[in-house]
């Protein structure tokens, strides 16, 4: 019989106790960071230096050593080099990073000797067409001469700006238009 | 008439895109980030997106993580059980194309082999904000739909 | 006892008829196949040997033969023994040891599934990880992956080569269900409920066949393998450093522990040491990760019981840990922080006191969590005295980690087989003692995890206090060639012992990697626990065992 | 409604007082009343669903819906619109007819109760003499709908949900009825208006403080009402983590909206019954019943008071839902039969003896009311103090975390 009343009192008291906890949380500012618009500082800027976001290539620094391509465990980096028949100079004709396949492990960045390949703090690259997720850092038909270490100091764009330019102008133009025909 | 149709359609699309109920379905690593996305910091509920446990009442199937051949049939069944209009987000590399498990013998190489995908979301796993971004882009896509006018045509 | 004493004891027992011969590096006792059951039974029941736990059963395809490797462990005496048995590759057959250790049941099923070893006298020898109609045995060296399965082709073209999307913008090779030759027909017979693979409370993709009588279950048969990603096979084709990111995905809630286990296995074979600062950083990362994992475990358990708020409070705390991890390793979930021979990055500026400040804030919050849910009478009534696991069963079914300790078995690798830098720290090992019911019930498993979080905080404080200066990583050549040999490295992951059995043949890729995980064995006990409980209790059991799908299926 | 119609007929439409004319007028009034009530119910259902999401979010230190419309106020409209637009699936092998009509049983059961629910003096659709009895019995229709829905969906999870809620609702009808009977004894009548009129405006004149037994009877009724409304900790019929969505697993589109609507409308009903039985309904302090009936602005004031009390209770229900875990089936049953029903019986017997020996308006009876009111106030104060302690404790931790006195969790570690 005593257990009977003990059960009742225990339940009532513990329930009241729990209610005080939840009630006290009613009077606190929420913890939510209202991404993307209602925040003072965009998340990309608050992320730490080591954050591994989308990969980007500063082509002016790339020496075309293909170390990243060899290091990647899952072949999601495609670099191709061709030698000009006449001038005998190497040209990087392709530098594709398949963001849709990349597992941001950072092994390729560790392998890069010049720091031309780097992780950014950009992450919002969702797209309606998987083909847009292949980040082409060298456009077709515009090959780039590899960076010579003893040459003039190359101009290095700020980290994240390259890939940001690639993923911004993208979505609404490509995918939404394509989706417009959906019945 | 056209004007009226367009406005009604805008209104209906607004209703659809403002309450995206996603299916509570997490298959692998991305599931944790999906969970965190529903959690306090990145609160998907802000956009009216709440998880539903049953596919009947869900509008959005977020394929979060690796899908194996053994699981693939079930995923397709889930998709079939959802009521029109239904949308799919392939979250993470594994759902996009098999990702780092493309070389595996038992993993489905991309979920778009079995269900039509509306939004591909890169990352392994994508951080919760990226998922919110994907849902916002899906809203763009939904608001651009012309289904009512197509119905009339 | 040392290995020699153990092998001598075996020799004196079995004489020369079934002579266990010690050989190979590391030392193992080779047993003729047919005699395995007697030897195993003797190993378990002999008071001297007292090897009461089968921690890992691995099958290896040695091209000319198939080798079964039994890793035995004694929780009371703390020594271990490796038994080996060589089988004919054309017709591999061996008697089952299921009658000795119950956990052998699932281990042997997995071995049958992936290597096609036929265990004579096994109670139900079915495929466990792969679909029932799968062809071939993947872990055989001559296995070729299928090009299509049930109408799903296994080739993936580079996205750039993909054709334009159809007019409706929906790109799907599978137009309707009819193209999919489904494997699963309707289940007939008594009241059988199919729980999962998509179910709110099966964390990840697990499937249970509930044979119920109304609300009361007769039994719940777990079906696993819905997330079997063939990691062990992939290891054989990927270089040693390149496989580190894969271990992250092995247990996404405790990626650090998986990292460390794999790194330790490779380091053992390489014989390279880790600098003390590297070891301390590993401990730091692992303990932070342990807290994060237990946050999800306890929180999702509360959610399964129906209280949603505590779970989100824990997620809020977890976000702080994610921030710390992000700053430390560069990622929120799949850290890829450890490297062979050390760790990738050093502690960032001001990280130490950041972690200290966070712990000052976190420990009182645990008290609030207790007031909110742990002491709630309804919650206690739901969990106390439900699914009691006795100490014998816990050992017999190969439960490890918090699940084992909740059944009052004082075994923690960090204490009993100190690895990394754990020997330097003072910490208690919380044991289940029937906090509100009997020892080993769901509530104990819950409380033990809550207490372990406090202990992890203690370890973190000590690690930060004694953090030595110096190097964080030993220099290794870019292309690592591991000398031939084999090893078994154990770590205490949040879900218990995680063992990496690694065999190298001197190449740049492992010859065979077998991962023994806690969730796999934890799943195998559910069928026994589920007899006579209610459906709501099954949810509590799954939550309390803290099962994580990829760790079950690998 | 009827008196009003009668009044209109006699004074304004003398010529329409033929039999058919009367029927027509009464019909019009009936439809008008139904329309008003339906509008109110659906508006309340929508808004309260939105409010619950916001409140729950705050408890979890989230924000909750705040993008759709100003502060997310249009969220429930968007939800309703979307659900109505969605395809209406009927599972293979389902009993199509029953599957289709099941939601309407639930709807009828919920909506029928509004007929006898008073909002203020004169503001009641039909002031039945057996109002409270009618309310308790009409809600039984809900269980029919839920069982039909659960059974006809041809899904085992739905079946579980349906059976659970059958057992639950039917057994919890008993303690609810008994607890209300305590009030009926005090009021000496079954009509809802009469129960309210028998109470006073001041808190110590509410029935909850009339005797120690009615003070106990309120929690009993409240628990039983929670169970009948499938609210946590009694949300077993739709337990999301056990049965996927319980009886509504297979429902989509419009029919799910109906279930949805019924669930939220029920929130008002259970709170309103509690208020009219235990918390003095629409009674205004220092104002007699007759005065309230005679003046229109007092009627509105009464309406305001009634709504205020009810919404406070609604908030309590919402908070309970997001605080408590869920009971198990057998525990739910034993809680009803082992705890609530015996206690309710004790309350009835106790109340009878109390009325006989102590009396209601005698000196000791009045004194007891003040004492009990003090006790109730003490509980409330304790809650507030404990809340403040929790608040302060957390503030201390955040101060440790950030170095400055913060009262909320910081976004990132400083």
What DSSP line would sit under B57-73, residue for residue? G-SEEEEES--BHHHHH
Asked if A36 and B118 come within 8 Å (Cβ–Cβ), the reply is: no
Q: Region C183-195: what's the mean pLDDT?
A: 54
Domain limits at A54?
44-177
pLDDT band at C187; cut points 50, 70, 90:
very low
Spatial separation of the C-alpha atoms in residues C7 and D312, rounded to whole Å: 75
Of D59, D382, D407, the CB nearest to A26: D59
pLDDT higher than 50, residue D144: yes
CB C550 within 8 A of CB C254: no
CA distances (Å), origin D170, targets A139, C514, D156, D231: 71, 55, 21, 15
Q: Which of B73-82, C204-213, C359-368, C541-550 has the lowest mean pLDDT?
A: C204-213
Q: Which residues does chain D have within 8 Å of residue A8's beta carbon, measured at their own beta carbons? A: 339
Nearest to C226 among B68, B103, B112 (CB): B68
Q: Does residue D299 lie within any of the structural domains? A: yes
- Residue C100: closest CA among C62, C46, C165, C152: C46
Q: Running DSSP on this structure, what letter comes out for residue D120? A: B
Q: pLDDT band for position D28 (50/70/90)? A: confident
Residue A125 sits at the chain B interface (C-beta within 8 Å): yes
One domain for residues D10 and D94: no
Whether residue D36 is predicted with pLDDT greater than 90 in this model: the reply is no
Q: Give a yes or no: residue D156 inside a domain.
A: yes
Q: C303, C552 in Cβ contact below 8 A?
A: no
- Domain region containing D31: 1-85
Residue D338 and residue D280 share a domain? yes
Contact assignment for B45 to D411 by CB distance below 8 Å: no
Chains C, D: CB pairs < 8 Å: 115
Q: CA Rg, chain A, in Å?
A: 26
* CATH code assigned at A155: 3.30.70.3270
Q: In angstroms, rounded to a whole number, what is the distance separating the alpha carbons of residues C103 and C72?
A: 12
Give the residue from chain A lying closest to C156, CA to CA: A101
pLDDT, tens digit (0-9, with 9 covering 90-100), for C81-119: 888 888 888 888 888 888 888 888 888 888 888 888 888
- Would residue D407 count as lying in a domain? no
What residues have CB less than 8 Å from C131, skipping those under 6 apart? Answer: B69, B70, C149, C183, C225
D13 with D148, same domain?
A: no
Residue pair A77/A97 in contact by the 8 Å Cβ criterion? yes
Do the Cβ atoms of C38 and C93 come closer than 8 Å?
no
Residue A28 clears pLDDT 80, i.e. is over it: yes
Q: Give helix D75-85 / helix D253-278 axis angle, nearest 10°.
A: 140
Query: What mean pLDDT is predicted for residues D238-245?
Result: 73
Domain co-membership, D254 together with D335: yes
C169: pLDDT strictly greater than 80: no
| Alpha-carbon distance B1 to nearest alpha carbon in chain C (angstroms) | 25
> D101 to chain A nearest CA, in Å?
31
Counted domains in chain A: 1
Closest-CA distance, C58 to chain D, in angstroms, reads 36
In whole angstroms, what is the distance from residue C541 CA to residue C445 CA? 10
Burial D328-351 (b: 16+ CB within 10 A, else e): bbebbeebbeebbbebbeebbebb
Residue D382 in any domain: the answer is no
Domain assignment present for residue A164? The answer is yes
- pLDDT for residue C170: 57
A176 touches chain C (CB under 8 A): no
In what side-by-side order are the strands of the sheet with A90-98?
A77-83, A90-98, A134-136
Q: Is C306–D324 a contact, with Cβ atoms under 8 angstroms apart? A: yes
Domains of chain C: residue spans and CATH: 3-120 (3.30.460.80), 231-553 (1.10.645.10)
Q: Do A85 and A96 meet the contact criterion of CB atoms below 8 Å apart?
A: no
Residue-level pLDDT at C183: 41
- Contact status of A74 with chain D (Cβ, < 8 Å): no
| C448 neighbors C436 (Cβ within 8 angstroms) | no
Q: How many domains does chain D have?
A: 2
Average pLDDT over residues C213-221: 78
* Residue A109 located in a structural domain: yes
What are the structure tokens assigned to C313, written together?
A: 């409070």
Two tokens, residue B48: 């009216």
Size of chain B, expressed as the number of residues it contains: 153
Written as six digits, the tokens of C374 are 């742990």
Residues 6+ apart with CB under 8 A from A13: none
| Averaged pLDDT score across all residues of chain D | 85
Q: What is the DSSP string of D191-239?
A: -HHHHHHTS-SSGGGSGGGTSHHHHHHHHHHHHHHHHHTT-TTS-GGG-
Position A181 pLDDT exceeds 60: no
The band of C294, judged by pLDDT with boundaries at 50, 70 and 90, is very high
Binary contact (C365, D157; C-beta < 8 A): no
**Judging by DSSP bridges, how do beta strands C28-30 and C338-339 pair with one another?**
unpaired
3-state secondary structure chain A: CHHHHHHHHHHHHHHHHHHHHHHHHHCCCCCCCCCCCCCCCCHHHHCCCCCCCCEEECCCCCCCCCHHHHHCCCCCEEEEEEECCCCCCEEEEEEEEECCCCCCCCHHHHHCCCCCEEECCCCCCCECCHHHHEEECCCCCCCECCCCCCCCCCCCCCCCHHHHHHHCCCHHHHHHHHHCCCC
For residue A92, give Cα distances in angstroms to A24, A61, A80, A110, A145.
61, 12, 6, 21, 6
Least confident of A51-65, C178-192, D20-34, D312-326: C178-192
Q: Which of A17, A21, A31 sits opposite D409 (nearest CB)?
A: A31
Least CB–CB distance from D58: residue in A12, A18, A25: A25
Examine the domain organization and report whether D56 and D97 are in the same domain: no
Q: D184 in a domain, yes or no?
A: yes
Q: Which residue has the tokens 């969730």?
A: C519
Chain A: nearest CA to C370, how far in angstroms? 9
User: What residues of B are in contact with residue C171 (Cβ under 8 Å)?
Assistant: 112, 116-117
Contact by Cβ (8 Å): D111, D33: no
Does the pLDDT value for residue B29 go beyond 90?
no
Give the pLDDT confidence score for residue A182 in this predicted structure: 33
**Using 50, 70 and 90 to split pLDDT, how confident is the model at B152?**
low
Nearest to B55 by CA among B22, B87, B27: B22
CA distance C509 to D280: 79
Rounded Cα gap, residues C85 and C91, in angstroms = 14
| D161 and D300 inside one domain | yes
Contact A111, A71 (CB under 8 A): yes
Chain C interface includes D390 (CB < 8 A): yes
Q: Cα torsion at C472, C477, C478, C479 (round to 10°)?
A: -130
Say if A141 is an interface residue toward chain B (CB within 8 Å). Answer: no
B49, B85, B146, C169, C234 from B153: Cα distances, Å: 32, 19, 11, 19, 52
- Taking the CA of residue A21 and the nearest CA in chain C, the distance in Å comes to 6
Yes or no, beta carbons of B54 and D244 under 8 Å apart: yes
- Asked if the structure places residue A33 within a domain, the reply is no
Does the pLDDT at position C184 exceed 50? no
Q: Do B45 and D62 touch (CB under 8 A)?
A: yes
- Residue D153 and residue D9 in one domain: no
Alpha carbon of D252: minimum distance to chain C alpha carbons (Å): 18
Tell me the helix, strand and coil percentages in chain C, rounded to 5: 40, 15, 45
Give me the helix-helix angle, D212-228 and D341-353, nearest 10°: 150
Cross-chain Cβ contact D411/B39 below 8 Å: no
Kindly determine whether residue B106 and residue C130, on different chains, have CB atoms separated by under 8 Å: yes
Q: Which two tokens stand for residue C5?
A: 């004493």
Q: What is the mean pLDDT of residues C511-533?
A: 87
Q: At what angle do helices C351-369 and C442-466 cross, to 10 degrees?
A: 160
Has residue B109 got a pLDDT over 90?
no
Residues A124, B40: C-beta atoms closer than 8 Å: no
Q: What is the pLDDT, as a whole number, of residue C23? A: 56
* Interface touch A8/D339, C-beta < 8 Å: yes
Flag if B28 and C550 touch (Cβ within 8 Å).
Answer: yes
d(CA C159, CA C175): 20
- Contact C376/A182, CB-based, under 8 Å? no
Does the pLDDT at position D262 exceed 60?
A: yes
| Min distance A134 CA to chain D CA atoms (Å) | 32
Pair (D150, D79) in one structural domain: no
Q: Which of D60, D85, D251 sits opposite B15 (nearest CB)?
A: D85
In chain B the domains, ranked by start, together with CATH numbers, are 24-54+65-143 (3.40.50.12280)
User: Quick check: C165 and A50 CB within 8 A?
Assistant: no
- CA A63 to chain B, closest CA, distance in angstroms equals 27
Look at chain C and count its residues: 554
- Using a CB–CB cutoff of 8 Å, tell me whether C233 touches chain B: yes
Q: Closest residue of A to D57, CA-based?
A: A30
Closest CA–CA distance from residue A113 to any residue of chain B (Å) = 24
- What is the reported pLDDT for C165? 60
SS3 annotation, D362-394 = CHHHHHHHHHHHHHHHHHHHHHHHHHHHHHHHH
Report the C-alpha gap between C301 and C311 in whole angstroms: 8
Quick count: other Cβ atoms within 10 Å of Cβ C52?
20
A1 touches chain D (CB under 8 A): no
Strand partners, A117: A57
Tell me the C-alpha to C-alpha distance, in Å, between residue C324 and each of A46, C181, C492. Answer: 13, 47, 22
- A22 in a structural domain: no
User: Which of D42, D64, D85 is at the close of a domain?
Assistant: D85
Work out the pLDDT band at B153, boundaries 50, 70, 90. low
Residue D391 lies in a domain: no
Q: DSSP assignment, residue C21?
A: E
User: Is the predicted pLDDT of residue C53 greater than 80, yes or no?
Assistant: yes
B66 at interface of A, judged by CB pairs closer than 8 A: no
> Do B121 and A183 lie within an 8 Å CB cutoff?
no
Residue that finishes a domain, picked among D321, D344, D360 = D360
Report the alpha-carbon distance of residue D237 to residue D246 in Å, rounded. 5
pLDDT at A174 over 60: no
The last residue of a domain, from among D24, D50, D85: D85
A60 band by pLDDT with thresholds 50, 70 and 90: confident
Same domain flag for D163 and D308:
yes
Residues of D in contact with C378 (CB under 8 A): 233, 324-327, 331
Whether D256 and D90 have beta carbons less than 8 Å apart is answered as no
Comparing alpha-carbon positions, the chain D residue that sits nearest to C308 is D322
Cα–Cα distance, B78 to D151 (Å, whole number): 22
**CB-closest option in C324, C361, C371 to D398:** C361
* CA pair distance C124, C113, nearest whole angstrom: 12
Distance from CA of A182 to the nearest CA of B (A): 7
Cβ separation of D78 and B45 shorter than 8 Å?
no
Identify which of B43, B56, B57 has the shortest CB distance to residue D63.
Answer: B43
Alpha-carbon gap: A26 to the closest alpha carbon of chain D (Å):
5
pLDDT at A72: 87
From A14, A128, A131, residue closest to C169, measured CB to CB: A128
Asked if C235 has any chain B CB less than 8 Å from its own CB, the reply is no
Contact C334 B35 (CB under 8 A): no
D168 and D28 inside one domain: no
D278 and D181 assigned to the same domain: yes
Nearest to D390 among A20, A31, A34 (CB): A20
Across the range C434-447, mean pLDDT stands at: 87
CA distance A68 to chain B (A): 16
**Residue A91 burial by Cβ neighbours in a 10 Å radius (0-12, 13-18, 19+):** middle
In this complex, which of D62, D219, D387 lies closest to A23 when CB atoms are compared?
A: D387
**Which of D229-238, D273-282, D284-293: highest mean pLDDT?**
D273-282
For residue A108, being part of any structural domain is answered with yes
Instruction: List chain A residues with CB under 8 Å of C160.
Output: 96, 131, 134
Question: What is the structure's pLDDT at A169?
Answer: 58
pLDDT digits (tens, 9 = 90+) for D351-381: 999 888 887 778 888 888 889 999 999 999 9
Q: What is the pLDDT of residue A173?
A: 40
Query: pTM of the entire structure?
Result: 0.89
């Amino acid at each position: 019989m005593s257990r009977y009343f003990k059960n009742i009192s225990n339940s009532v008291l513990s329930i009241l106790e729990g209610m005080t906890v939840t009630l006290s949380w009613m009077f606190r500012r929420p913890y939510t960071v209202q991404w993307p618009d209602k925040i003072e500082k965009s998340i990309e800027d608050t992320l730490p230096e080591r954050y591994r976001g989308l990969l980007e290539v500063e082509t002016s620094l790339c020496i075309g050593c293909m170390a990243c391509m060899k290091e990647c465990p899952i072949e999601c980096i495609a670099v191709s080099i061709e030698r000009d028949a006449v001038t005998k100079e190497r040209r990087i004709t392709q530098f594709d990073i398949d963001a849709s396949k990349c597992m941001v492990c950072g092994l390729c960045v560790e392998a890069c000797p010049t720091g031309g390949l780097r992780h950014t703090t950009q992450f919002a690259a969702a797209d309606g067409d998987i083909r847009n997720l292949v980040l082409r850092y060298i456009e077709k038909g515009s090959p780039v001469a590899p960076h010579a270490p003893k040459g003039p100091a190359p101009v290095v764009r700020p980290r994240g700006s390259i890939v940001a330019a690639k993923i911004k102008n993208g979505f609404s133009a490509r995918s939404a238009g394509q989706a417009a025909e959906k019945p | 008439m056209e004007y009226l149709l367009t406005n009604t359609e805008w209104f209906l699309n607004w209703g659809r895109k403002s309450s995206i109920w996603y299916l509570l379905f997490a298959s692998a690593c991305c599931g944790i980030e999906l969970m965190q996305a529903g959690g306090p910091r990145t609160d998907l509920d802000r956009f009216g997106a709440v998880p539903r446990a049953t596919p009947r009442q869900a509008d959005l199937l977020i394929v979060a993580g690796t899908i194996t051949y053994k699981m693939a049939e079930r995923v397709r069944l889930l998709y079939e059980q959802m009521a029109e209009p239904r949308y799919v987000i392939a979250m993470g590399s594994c759902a996009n194309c098999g990702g780092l498990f493309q070389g595996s013998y038992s993993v489905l190489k991309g979920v778009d082999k079995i269900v039509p995908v509306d939004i591909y979301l890169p990352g392994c796993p994508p951080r919760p904000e990226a998922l919110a971004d994907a849902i916002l882009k899906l809203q763009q896509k939904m608001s651009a739909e012309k289904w009512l006018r197509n119905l009339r045509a | 006892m040392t290995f020699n004493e153990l092998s001598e004891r075996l020799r004196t027992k079995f004489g020369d008829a079934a002579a266990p011969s010690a050989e190979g590096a590391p030392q193992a006792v080779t047993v003729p196949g047919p005699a395995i059951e007697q030897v195993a039974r003797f190993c378990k029941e002999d008071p001297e040997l007292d090897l009461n736990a089968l921690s890992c059963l691995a099958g290896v395809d040695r091209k000319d033969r198939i080798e079964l490797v039994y890793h035995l462990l004694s929780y009371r005496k703390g020594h271990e023994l490796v038994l080996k048995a060589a089988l004919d590759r054309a017709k591999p057959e061996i008697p089952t040891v299921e009658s000795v250790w119950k956990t052998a049941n699932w281990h042997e099923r997995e071995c049958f599934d992936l290597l096609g070893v036929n265990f004579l006298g096994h109670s139900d020898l079915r495929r466990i990880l792969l679909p029932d109609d799968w062809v071939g045995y993947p872990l055989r060296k001559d296995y070729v992956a299928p090009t299509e399965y049930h109408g799903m082709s296994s080739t993936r073209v580079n996205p750039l080569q993909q054709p334009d999307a159809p007019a409706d913008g929906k790109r799907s090779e599978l137009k309707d269900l009819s193209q999919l030759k489904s494997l699963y027909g309707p289940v007939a017979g008594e009241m059988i409920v199919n729980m999962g693979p998509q179910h709110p409370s099966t964390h990840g993709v697990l499937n249970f066949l509930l044979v119920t009588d109304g609300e009361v279950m007769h039994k719940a048969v777990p079906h696993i393998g819905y997330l079997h990603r063939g990691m062990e096979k992939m290891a054989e084709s990927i270089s040693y450093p390149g496989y580190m990111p894969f271990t992250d995905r092995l247990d996404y809630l405790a990626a650090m522990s998986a990292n460390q286990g794999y790194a330790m296995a490779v380091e053992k074979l390489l014989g390279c040491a880790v600098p003390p600062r590297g070891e301390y950083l590993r401990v730091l990362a692992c303990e932070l990760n342990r807290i994060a994992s237990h946050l999800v475990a306890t929180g999702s358990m509360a959610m399964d019981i129906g209280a949603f708020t505590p779970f989100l409070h824990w997620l809020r705390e977890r976000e702080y840990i994610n921030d710390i991890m992000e700053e430390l390793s560069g990622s929120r979930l799949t850290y890829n922080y450890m490297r062979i021979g050390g760790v990738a990055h050093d502690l960032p500026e001001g990280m130490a006191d950041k972690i200290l400040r966070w712990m000052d804030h976190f420990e009182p919050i645990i008290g609030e969590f207790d007031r909110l849910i742990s002491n709630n009478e309804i919650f206690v009534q739901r969990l106390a005295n439900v699914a009691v696991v006795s100490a014998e069963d816990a050992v017999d079914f190969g439960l490890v980690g918090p699940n084992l300790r909740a059944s009052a078995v004082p075994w923690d690798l960090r204490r009993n087989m100190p690895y990394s830098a754990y020997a330097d720290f003072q910490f208690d090992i919380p044991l289940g003692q029937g906090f509100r019911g009997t020892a080993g019930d769901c509530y104990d498993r819950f409380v033990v995890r809550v207490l372990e979080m406090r202990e992890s905080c203690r370890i973190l404080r000590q690690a930060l206090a004694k953090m030595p200066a110096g190097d964080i990583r030993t220099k290794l050549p870019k292309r690592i060639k591991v000398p031939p040999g084999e090893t078994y490295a154990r770590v205490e992951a949040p879900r218990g012992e995680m063992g990496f059995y690694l065999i190298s043949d001197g190449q740049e890729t492992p010859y065979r990697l077998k991962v023994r995980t806690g969730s796999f064995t934890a799943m195998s006990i559910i069928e026994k626990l589920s007899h006579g409980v209610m459906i709501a209790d099954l949810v509590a059991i799954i939550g309390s065992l803290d099962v994580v799908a990829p760790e079950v299926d690998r | 409604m009827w008196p009003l119609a009668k009044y209109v007929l006699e004074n304004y439409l003398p010529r329409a007082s033929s039999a058919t004319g009367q029927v027509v007028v009464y019909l019009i009034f009936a439809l008008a009343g139904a329309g008003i009530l339906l509008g109110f119910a659906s508006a309340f259902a929508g808004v309260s669903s939105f409010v619950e999401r916001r409140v729950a979010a705050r408890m979890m230190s989230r924000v909750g819906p705040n993008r759709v419309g100003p502060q997310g106020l249009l969220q429930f409209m968007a939800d309703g619109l979307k659900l109505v637009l969605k395809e209406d699936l009927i599972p293979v092998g389902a009993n199509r007819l029953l599957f289709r009509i099941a939601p309407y049983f639930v709807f009828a059961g919920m909506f029928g109760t509004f007929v006898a629910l008073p909002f203020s003096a004169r503001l009641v659709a039909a002031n039945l003499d057996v109002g409270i009895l009618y309310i308790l019995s009409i809600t039984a229709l809900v269980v029919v709908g839920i069982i039909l829905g659960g059974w006809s969906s041809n899904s085992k999870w739905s079946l579980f949900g349906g059976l659970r809620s059958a057992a639950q609702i039917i057994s919890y009808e008993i303690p609810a009825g008994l607890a209300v009977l305590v009030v009926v004894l005090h009021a000496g009548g079954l009509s809802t208006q009469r129960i309210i009129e028998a109470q006073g405006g001041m808190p110590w004149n509410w029935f909850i403080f009339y005797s120690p037994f009615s003070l106990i009877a309120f929690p009993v009724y409240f628990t039983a009402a929670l169970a009948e409304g499938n609210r946590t900790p009694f949300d077993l019929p739709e337990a999301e983590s056990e049965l996927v969505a319980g009886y509504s697993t297979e429902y989509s589109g419009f029919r799910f909206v109906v279930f949805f609507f019924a669930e939220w409308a029920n929130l008002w009903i259970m709170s309103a019954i509690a208020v009219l039985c235990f918390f003095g309904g629409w009674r205004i302090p220092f104002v007699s019943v007759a005065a309230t009936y005679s003046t229109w602005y007092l009627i509105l004031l009464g309406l305001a008071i009634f709504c205020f009390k009810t919404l406070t209770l609604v908030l309590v229900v919402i908070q309970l839902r997001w605080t408590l875990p869920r009971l198990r089936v057998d525990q739910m049953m034993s809680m009803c039969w082992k705890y609530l029903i015996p206690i309710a019986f004790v309350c009835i017997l106790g109340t009878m003896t109390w009325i006989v020996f102590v009396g209601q308006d005698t000196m000791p009876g009045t004194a007891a009311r003040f004492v009990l009111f003090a006790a109730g106030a003490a509980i409330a104060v304790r809650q507030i103090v404990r809340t403040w302690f929790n608040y302060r404790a957390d503030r201390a931790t955040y101060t440790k975390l950030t170095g400055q006195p913060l009262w909320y969790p910081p976004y990132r570690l400083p």
